[in-house]
Structure 1
Amino acid sequence: MPNLLAYWPAADGSLRRLKRITIAGPLLFIGLLEFVRHQLLAADVAAPVALMLVGAVLVTGSWLFAEWVFGLIADLQARLETALAEAQRERARLLAVLDASADGIYVVEPGEQISLVNRTLERLLGLPREKMIGQTCFGHTLTRTRDGRLLCESACPFQEPTRHRYPTEITAQTANGLRSLEIASGRILGLDGQVEGVVHVLRDLTARKEIERLQDEFISLVSHELKTPLNHIKGFASTLLQEDVEWDRETERDFLETIDQEADRLTHLVENILEMARLANAQEGAFLELDWHAPADMISAVIERMRAFVDDHHFVLEMPASLPPLRCDRRTVELLLNNLLDNAVKYSPSGTTVTVRACSEAETLKVVVIDEGAGIPAHVLPRVFERFYRGANRQRAPGTGLGLAICRRVAEAHCGTLTAASAPAAGSTFTLMLPLEGPNDEQAPRFGG
């Protein structure tokens, strides 16, 4: 709003000259009234206020009244400017809150055009807000309910203003691909109770849905992995207990060795499940049982155990005559090494070699496990350490998708790292780096008991 006091000198001079006007100059008098009215109207003052001011001056001749009115207008202008500035600050705070939200938010006007979006929605849909503002509501194009219908065909807040919109699960085709979302809506009502806009809140469920899918698959895998060794154990034990059959010593021993191997396989599976549960609840148990150990003894012991159970692979150990001691939790580190070797055996053909190299570098123990398998595709490599994740060879290689996840977590618990490198048809290489000093008491996590 322009400053009304800037118009006062012109109006003041004109009104002073008005005192010298005689009855003989009515046309000049009317022209002056029009001048004052136009000056005030040009200042965005309502016509009734302008006429009141002119009338007051002419009727009472009071310049104090005119000055009071101009002062009143100046005060109103200052208050309006202050209120406008506060409204702008409040709007900026509101936009900052919306942008900080972890959920995507957008506002739709009665014409079903988008008028506001936050930054989370930009990231979620992979679109800049400039391309969304002014566009038609996403319910017409992007979002579908679980039964495949467009969202606006099932429930539109504008078409059904009295219907409450509970959170609804939908799928949306975005620039980032197909995503699972949950949408909730709230109506913006005017003073007359009519809908003036709708606020939509989108929550990304894609990651949660993927975890749920992996967990369901994990339960199925565990059921299968538990059932297989149990069936073998039950079958061979029942065979040995048959009273109407005489088995020679060699056959009995073969049966008993199979039972023993399947029991070990079952034990390994249960240990992995329990260890993953401990690692997932790392704030609720006892500290790692840290002590100084000879890494050469630990590595050799794990390899010898693998040789006892695996007869269709060759194991090669390349290690110096002596290695500096390692401060670690022996049980979890040996589990880590065992899982790495087990993974190498599962994903490489029979008759191939698994190579283990160990050395010390700059106060760090380095252990490298190399297999001669088919390799890991580049798009799969970043996910091999995720819980429950299993690659394209899941049908050929049994497992639960926990082994490498446990390996990575144990390495991190010791303030170390575990990385994977691979190429198709070139095998895989896993590199473990553990600080010889191990984690200090503040760094050591708490494992569930």
Structure 2
Amino acid sequence: MGQMVISRMEKRIVIRLDGAATVDMRIKGDVRSEDAAHKRSVLSRLQTRALSAVSALPILLTASFSAHAEDMLGLIDTPFGMKVGTFEVVQFAMFLGAMGAALLSAGWLIRERSRIAHENRHLRDKVADLNVTVQRNEALLNLKDQRVIVWEGSSSTPVLIGSLPPEIGVPESRSLFLAFGRWLRVESVTLLDRSVSALREKARPFDIAIETSKGTPLEVQGRTSGGYAIVRFINPGEVRAAQAMLKAENYHLSEAVATLRGLLDAIDMPAWSRSSEGQLNWVNLAYAKAVDERDPNSAVRDGRELFGVQARERIERDKTLNRKFHDQLSTVVGGDRHVFSVTDIAASNGSAGMAIDISEAELIREEFKRTVLNHSDTLDQLNSAVAMFDANRKLQFFNQAFAKLWGLETPFLESNPDNAMLLDRFRSDGILPEQPDWRRWKEQVLSAYHSIESQEYVWHLTDGRTLRVIVNPQPKGGVTWVFENLTEKLELESRYNTLIKVQGQTLDYLAEGVAVFGSDGKVRLANPAFASLWSLKSEQVAEGTHISAIRRVCEPVSDADNWESFVTTVTGFDDERRSLSGHIELTTGKILSYATAPLPNGQTMLTFVDVTDSVQVERALKEKNEALERTDELKNDFVQHVSYELRSPLTNIMGFTELLQTPMTGPLNDRQRDYLDHIGTSSSVLLTIVNDILDLATVDAGIMELDISDVSVTDAVTVASEKVADRLKEHNILLDTRIETGTGSFRADAARIKQVLSNLLSNAANYAPEGSTITLKCWREQTEMVFSVMDNGPGMPDYVLDSIFKRFQPYPNGGRKRGAGLGLSIVKGFVELHGGTVDIDSSAGKGTLVTCRFPLEARTFSLAAE
């Protein structure tokens, strides 16, 4: 076997075979590389290939030896007469194989060296070119008119290259430069931040123009390359600066147009724009909807017109003359005819218009006109004189009674005279009496124009008439005067007083015995005939004597059962007070015909007559009783009718108030808004009173039906508490709600239960001191559901408790607001309609406790009208 040695230092290959033969191959040329690693790699490959060649020699020799085995068994004669043995032949063959392998390796090494040298020259040239390019790019980036920010991937720390001149307002410091808000305008900062975010997050390139705080424009370009995000700030020249400014202005204008069109698309008013040839080039969603198109593009593409040919020709004529059109036009939308207020403006390159649907407003305006006319006709039918003055104290409306009262001519009143001038004329005509200080008196009367409360006066005219004058301020600064002629009323009162005296004297001389008892059972009135018929002394029937005392005296000479019924009738608490009549026989043999008659305010009248006079007395009492019943029915009918009639105008007033508060009616000053708030609040309160009156009237008529269902106690208490939450918060009053465990629900009318609780809490909040606590409790008690409301207010004296459930009788004993006196009446009516009861425990200075008991299974009960 041979041995190959590669000498790297001398750049040669030496192959030694067994024996003395040696092959020495020198490598000519330069096998240098650019670096040591490349040299080591080349030499390693050469060594590996040379060894491979040497390793293949035994295989070649073995194959040769096998092919010529016969020749190798003996000696071979050479031409020189020498005999060569087998070993010498083998040794020679190995030498020749090693020489051939060495020559092949040398040739391959030479070729490899040439290729590597060529690659090295190419790489050196490329590196040199790249170095030149990098130097050139760095020189360009480091110019004074641009600066570059480079972000690598998601890294938040960028690399800054280049600079911008500081005189244009760009800081040189890295931290100050990256704080764009310190040296850019606000709108430029927003635009730049949005563009950079889109570049880094969505790889969206951009070209924008921004302005420094000194007004210098800059061009900003954003691009991505591989994993890098690059933003370049460029300082343009004067021409490019102007272009950048135009570009920025164009961007802002485009944004403004897009915003405006977005706004027009959001409103429910058809809007459009036309080209200079009059063709539609844009419409909003409302326009497309009005012309029954799916989207605005379809409406523009199909040329769908909102108005007819004549209307469009009229619009074009007006725009030709005045450059704009503004009027009302009608067209059919959705199968119905609508009236639009149309505004169309012409410009140099086209026109734009908008249409506002005023169909409902026109209907409301017509309804308002009809309402005003109806009110005027109604006021003209009144006997009370009415005059309305505006904020400038000019007469705007008067009814016929006003002109008749003061004897003024209609043309003069229609000239809108001043209020002060009218007062002076009344004085000069001698109608108004002279005042000690006329100027001060007139200023006091006219102070109503600066007041928010109504004022009331009584004027005694020189002709003997007496007027009740009510001066009511209007929300818009005007004043309404109402003059009620009290002359006849005072005369009637005088006649009434005289009549009472005459009737009293008449009763004293009547043969019929009459006694009137109050609801407490005490005598209010008794004539001498009553005492004479029962043989009573005058002090025994004196005013204030209780009926039980009279019973003790009269019962021994009459039937005890009759006097039992008399006492029950006078002092009983029956919901329905009944009249009694009959005959009673005294032990003296005198037969009396008696009758009991309920009177207003819980009073009761007892009458006794002899049998001979019974028919006449009975007829008189029946007529009086029927008159009282008709009066009561007339009262109920009047309340119901007026309540229903008030609802319509109240609804209109509230609707117009809300309409005036909307921006479409125009701006309002603070005073007008305050007046509208007062109108809305007062209308809501009045509507609540009307609804309460209607509820009571429905209960009285016996036609109210309860909607019985399962009522959750927790839900009912929560709803009632929310209704008074603002009022409690206003006065710093706490509401302590205590619902016992297991209360659950019961069968009742949920709406009426919530109304009862809300009225109780509102009543308590009206009287509870600020900073106090109202307690609302609920618990089950056998077959009843019990609610109680407790406050720490001033309480109510006993005389108030006797009539606390009466209607229209509010008692201002420490309350913040004085209502119509219907809250507790409604509570009592609805609780009793469920078959429940209401109890009030109160005394002066100790607060009030109201307890309502409802049956767990409610059924409708009918209530009699009070």
* Band of TM-score, shorter chain: 0.3 to 0.5
TM-score, normalisation: structure 1: 0.47
More strand by share: 2
The structure with the largest alpha-carbon Rg is: 2
